[in-house]
């Protein structure tokens, strides 16, 4: 009776071949996990990137906001006419990224701004801004 060796002729793999296959699969999984972690870490460092830049009020283009990084947080630099004097002024308001929105503390409480992905506008607190043309 003829006995064929397993693995070499397409039959079931031998124990060393099976171990090599398991190690190769584990290496692929580990490399995939490392690549995923690097991607996630890279993206998390850019959190809030969609808010950065200049915005103008859709109803009053002279009412403008610029969002800039301030360390791990943000500053909103609002340029608009003073309600009492009419003089154009710029005020900076600190903001933090929380639950995907920019949150600011003000005299009227907390205001959260978010990008409306249907039109790309920055909305919240009864305000709506768009990117200037």
Listed by start position, the domains of the chain span 12-45, 49-130
What are the tens digits of pLDDT across the range 108-122? 789 999 999 999 999
What are the tens digits of pLDDT across the range 43-72? 444 588 999 999 999 998 888 999 999 998
Decide: 79 and 87 in contact? Cβ < 8 Å: no
Yes or no: is domain 49-130 CATH 1.10.287? no
pLDDT higher than threshold 90 for residue 5:
no
**What does pLDDT average to over the chain?**
78
Alpha helices, H only, 45-83: none
Here the tokens at position 108 are: 């009227």
């Amino acid at each position: 009776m003829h006995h064929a060796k397993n693995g070499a002729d397409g039959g079931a793999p031998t124990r060393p071949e099976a171990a090599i296959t398991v190690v190769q699969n584990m290496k692929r999984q580990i490399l995939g996990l490392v690549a995923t972690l690097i991607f996630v870490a890279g993206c998390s460092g850019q959190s809030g990137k969609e808010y950065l830049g200049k915005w103008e009020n859709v109803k009053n283009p002279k009412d403008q906001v610029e969002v800039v990084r301030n360390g791990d947080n943000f500053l909103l630099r609002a340029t608009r006419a003073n309600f009492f004097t009419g003089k154009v002024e710029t005020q900076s308001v600190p903001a933090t990224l929380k639950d995907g929105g920019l949150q600011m503390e003000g005299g009227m409480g907390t205001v959260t701004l978010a990008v409306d992905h249907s039109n790309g506008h920055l909305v919240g607190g009864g305000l709506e801004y768009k990117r200037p043309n």
